Structure formats: structure tokens, C-alpha cells
Chains A and B, each alone.
Chain A
């Protein structure tokens, strides 16, 4: 009976997860080599050469990685600080509501919200004007569609921080960090040493896989950089979609090359993370 259930589970996994992914990936791969596609004329490496000789993808990859990294680092740091400093306040239902509410807000809504607040025609710009801090909208700092991706990073932080707060509150409780902290005090550790040698290492060790997965998630984010990003460089998903929707049909294959490369990098990273985790678990 158990074997049968296992087989059904495996078949469903193959049908609904592996098969669509493989077909889509195969389609993209064939398109990238010019084997299929309305204006393509057969197998060629020229689209791959085009992508590798142009710096667009590389720049976009580095740009996306930096933004995702900053977003994750700031979100995790903020969540850790809030949990270590104010965990007892989460008993207050209004405060916990304020913290957890953003979990229910979709990325696209958050992005619009950031736009409405931080754009040069947004709420804070108008407020600054009313307070006579600025005389024209242009004097307000460029926080949306800007060179430094500040709007994107603010939105990422607002989306990720509540999730990490929830995660770290649970880890704090499950790993009995309160008791371990008291024990550390008895062994002579001061507050700073407890934070650096006990609380933070335990919480980070327990959450590193999720941190990496969220980095990958941000790397491939679409709606937020689409609304709040600049024209160039663009984040990966926005760039790939732009290439795939080109009017010039001969350029579409380059979009598929980028999609294939992006998929290979992400899949390799994911497999590497989970194989390491599995190895570690087996070693235990």
C-alpha cells in the first residue's frame, strides 16, 4: 500500500513538475540553437556567441545579484535585530499585526505602494514640498527607477523582513535560545558575546538554506524591478522578458539563450544547496 502511494506520488511529481519543466527547458534550448523558431534556419551557435560577446547578460546578472544580495542581507539583519531586541513585544496583538500584515501583500502591490510613497511625485515628495524642505519635485531624492535600485531594495525589504521575523521568532523558541543565553551568562558571557557566539550563529545556521533560496527568489524577481527598476541595466527576469518580446524576431533566440543560462545557474545552485544539506543530514 505504501509502495503504491509512493509510486503515485512519484508519477504526479513527474507529470506536474518534471515534465512541464523539461518540455519548457527543451523548447528554450532548441530555440536558443535556432532549431525551432519562425525565422530560424536550423542549428546554429550564433545566438550563444551574440549573448556571450555582448555584456548585457553579464551586467544584468551582476546587477541583479548585487540587488538581491543587499535585499536579503538587509532583510535578514533587520529581522534578527528586531527579534533579538523586541521579541517580547510580539505578545502585543497590534504590533504583531503590523509586522505580519505585509506577509499578505503581493509583490506587485508592494511595488506600487513604494512608487506612491517614494517617487518624485509621491507622498514623501509632496510632504517635503508642503514642509518647504524642497521647492521642486526634482529636488526630492531619486528613489524610484533610480540608478541605485533603492526603490527595489526598499520593496524587497518590506516583503522579506516580516517572513524572516516570523522564522527567527520560531527558531528562537524551538532552539531554546533564551535558556542558552542564560546558561552563557552563567559561563561568563556578556550580552555582546551571547549575541555573537550563541544567538546569531544558531539562528543563521538554522536559516541559511532559506536565506539562499530567498536570494535566488529575488534574483529572478519580475514585478518589482519591472515597476521600480531603471531602463539599463535591468534585472534578469525583466531583461529576458524584454528580449523574448522583441519586435525583431531574429533576436528572440537570444532571449532564450539568456533564459537557458539563467535556468542552468539557478538549478545548479539549488541542487548544490540541497545536496550539501542532504550530505550533512546523512552525516548526522
Chain B
């Protein structure tokens, strides 16, 4: 497997936030992780990204144990719920940031960023500052900035949580297209049931620091603890049987 997480544990004081985290993920796949606020999903992502130190356990990425490696050397990008664009840099420089850090040649940076701007449909926005963009545009820049450095693993922490329904839907499709085009391996954390089902090749549910992986989406839907059954029940009760709402 491309990513193997082995017995990760993390506590803050007496409270155990992540309990015996164990899962693996094949390359170029997206694992959706559904979980309510405070269930430990952000801590889990930060541990994998190297931004938080685990109390125990190992992280194997592409055959290498990266558990003790510093965040900047893991080639894993953690994306926050908010776009977190650099406020002092324009769109072009925000996307170019990772390439400049890696001291790539200027011609290479120019061509890669222009290509990315086109892909994100932001070709006319390169010189704009972050505060001049809409929420959806900002989130696209954030994706572009992460993807352009070709990360081994992308960690997405409720990336569309602050977007309106329409923009969120467009962003979900855009992410799926980009993930497919760039063969991205990712963990996609969300508290939105529909988003979890839509975005993942595989699906998991996190509750009180424990992660449960499902063999397929049918098993996930059938599990009453995920809340899918409640959701189905809600809609069935709302629409009387046999009535066609269209």
C-alpha cells in the first residue's frame, strides 16, 4: 500500500484524541473520512502531516517510515478548512510559493503556474490579491498552490466547509477532476455525509478518536452509527410513500 498508518495514538493531557489509528490507502485514491467536530480528525491529519507529534505509532509513505521526519520534508500538504492564502502575495505568487521555496528555475515556475492558473480557470486573476477573490476562487488558488508541488499525499480538512452550496458542488467536481488528472492520493475529511460519499474512492467514519474503515459504500450506508440511515429516514418521512415530488 502507498500509505500505511500503524497504531497511531495521541493524547492531550488525560484525553485520548486518536486511538489506535490503523489503515492503509492505495496510490491515487481518495479516502473520505466522515466525523463530527471534536472527533479527532484534524489531529489525525496533523499527525500524518507532521504538524503534530504522535505519542506512538508509525507512518509509512511509499515504503518509507516518515514518522520522525519533519513536516517540510514529508512532501505531504495539509490544507485547512479556510483557504489561508498568503495575504502579502498575489494569486500567481501564492501558487508559485512551493516552487520558489524549492528554488526552481524562473522559466519553469512561470510555465507551471500559468498552466495551473488555466486549469483552475483563473488565468485572468494572476495579479489579483487574495482579498479581491471570491470564496470559491480563493479555495481554487489554495488547491493550485498545494498541487503544483506534486505532493505525495494531500490532506484536506473540510476544505469546502465555508463555501455556499453551489460553489461547494462546483469545487467538489473540480477537486475530483484535478485528483484524477494529477493522480493525487488524498485523505478528505468532512462532516458532510453526502460529501463523504461523493468524494471518496474509499470511506471511513471517525468517532471519539477511533477510525472505522468500510469495505464499500454499501457497508457504510448500512451502518446506523454513520447517520446515513437517519438521513434516509428523514427524507422518506418528508415525502409520503408513492408520491412523486416532480
A residues touching B (Cβ–Cβ < 8 Å)? 175-176, 179-180, 182-190, 193, 197-198, 201-202, 205, 284
Top 3 A-B residue pairs of the complex, sorted by shortest distance between their CB atoms = A187-B98, A185-B71, A185-B72
B residues touching A (Cβ–Cβ < 8 Å)? 49-51, 70-78, 80, 84, 86-88, 97-98, 100-102, 129, 131-132, 145-146, 149
A186 to B66, CA, bound (A): 14
**Does B131 lie within 8 Å of A284, measured CB to CB?**
yes
CB within 8 A of B88: which of A176, A184, A201, A284? A201
User: In the complex, what residue of chain B is closest to A193 when comparing beta carbons?
Assistant: B101
Residues of chain B lying within 8 A (CB to CB) of residue A185: 50-51, 70-72
A45 to B6, CA, bound (A): 87
Residues of chain B lying within 8 A (CB to CB) of residue A202: 86-88
**Does A186 lie within 8 Å of B72, measured CB to CB?**
yes
**Does A188 lie within 8 Å of B101, measured CB to CB?**
yes
Residues of chain A lying within 8 A (CB to CB) of residue B132: 284
**Does B87 lie within 8 Å of A175, measured CB to CB?**
yes
**Does A188 lie within 8 Å of B98, measured CB to CB?**
yes
A188 to B99, CA, bound (A): 9
CB within 8 A of B101: which of A175, A176, A189, A205? A189
Residues of chain A lying within 8 A (CB to CB) of residue B80: 179, 183
Residues of chain B lying within 8 A (CB to CB) of residue A184: 97, 101
For the complex formed, measure the closest distance between the CB of A73 and the CB atoms of chain B, giving whole angstroms.
20
**Does B51 lie within 8 Å of A182, measured CB to CB?**
yes
- Residue among A186, A201, A202 with max Cβ neighbours from chain B (10 Å): A186
Residues of chain B lying within 8 A (CB to CB) of residue A188: 72-73, 75, 98, 101-102, 149
For the complex formed, measure the closest distance between the CB of A174 and the CB atoms of chain B, giving whole angstroms.
10
**Does A187 lie within 8 Å of B88, measured CB to CB?**
no
User: In the complex, what residue of chain B is closest to A198 when comparing beta carbons?
Assistant: B86
**Does A187 lie within 8 Å of B86, measured CB to CB?**
no
**Does B71 lie within 8 Å of A186, measured CB to CB?**
yes
For the complex formed, measure the closest distance between the CB of B195 and the CB atoms of chain A, giving whole angstroms.
22
**Does A187 lie within 8 Å of B77, measured CB to CB?**
yes
**Does A183 lie within 8 Å of B84, measured CB to CB?**
yes
Residues of chain B lying within 8 A (CB to CB) of residue A193: 101
**Does A186 lie within 8 Å of B84, measured CB to CB?**
no
A139 to B209, CA, bound (A): 68
Residues of chain A lying within 8 A (CB to CB) of residue B98: 187-188
A183 to B84, CA, bound (A): 8
Known: A180-B84, A188-B75. 10 other contacts (CB 8 A): A179-B80, A182-B51, A184-B97, A185-B71, A186-B51, A187-B72, A187-B146, A188-B149, A193-B101, A284-B129
A184 to B145, CA, bound (A): 11
**Given A187-B97, A187-B149, A202-B87, A182:B78 Cβ within 8 A:** yes
20 A–B contacts, CB within 8 A, in A order: A176-B84, A179-B80, A182-B78, A184-B101, A185-B50, A185-B51, A185-B72, A186-B50, A186-B51, A186-B77, A187-B77, A188-B72, A188-B73, A188-B98, A188-B102, A189-B72, A197-B100, A201-B88, A205-B88, A284-B129
**Does A186 lie within 8 Å of B131, measured CB to CB?**
no
A183 to B78, CA, bound (A): 7
Residues of chain A lying within 8 A (CB to CB) of residue B131: 284
A193 to B98, CA, bound (A): 11
For the complex formed, measure the closest distance between the CB of B85 and the CB atoms of chain A, giving whole angstroms.
9
A202 to B72, CA, bound (A): 21
A185 to B102, CA, bound (A): 12
**Does A180 lie within 8 Å of B86, measured CB to CB?**
yes
**Does A182 lie within 8 Å of B86, measured CB to CB?**
no
User: In the complex, what residue of chain A is closest to B70 when comparing beta carbons?
Assistant: A185
User: In the complex, what residue of chain A is closest to B77 when comparing beta carbons?
Assistant: A186
Residues of chain B lying within 8 A (CB to CB) of residue A205: 88
**Does A186 lie within 8 Å of B76, measured CB to CB?**
yes
Residues of chain B lying within 8 A (CB to CB) of residue A183: 78, 80, 84
A231 to B84, CA, bound (A): 54
A193 to B86, CA, bound (A): 14
**Given A284-B129, A284-B132, A186:B78 Cβ within 8 A:** yes
**Given A176-B84, A284-B129, A187:B145 Cβ within 8 A:** yes
**Does B149 lie within 8 Å of A179, measured CB to CB?**
no
A183 to B49, CA, bound (A): 10
For the complex formed, measure the closest distance between the CB of A185 and the CB atoms of chain B, giving whole angstroms.
4
